[in-house]
Amino acid sequence: MGSLLQIRDVPEGVRRALKARAAARGESLNTYLLRLLDRDAARLTAREVFERAAQRSGRAEASVVDALEAARRERETELAGPSA
């Protein structure tokens, strides 16, 4: 059995658009939203993709995830400029 999920404060325009998309597919809003959530939950995150790629590569000396995080930290440091 599934769980109850409630989303508060959905703008009326968003609700109408989603309901119209569901109707265009011949689905209820609930069925349409469940399909969207299911598809999104099944997608790998960028981190998961990089980690899987790193596991397949026997030649890699460093994790792609680690390299990206280091590059992100370096960029953030550069953007912050000299500290006062």
Judge if pTM exceeds 0.75. no
Predicted local distance difference test score (pLDDT) of residue 40? 93
What's the Cα-to-Cα distance from 63 to each of 68, 72, 78, rounded to whole Å? Answer: 9, 14, 23
- Comparing CA positions, the residue from 42, 21, 45, 43 lying closest to residue 33 is 21
Q: Contact at 8 Å (CB) between 38 and 49?
A: no
C-alpha atoms less than 13 angstroms from C-alpha of 39 in its C-beta half-sphere:
6
Q: What is the pLDDT of residues 21-75, one digit of tens each?
A: 999 999 999 999 999 999 999 998 888 888 888 777 666 667 778 888 889 999 8
Predicted local distance difference test score (pLDDT) of residue 84? 45
Q: What are 65's two structure tokens? A: 């995830």
Of how many residues is the chain composed? 84
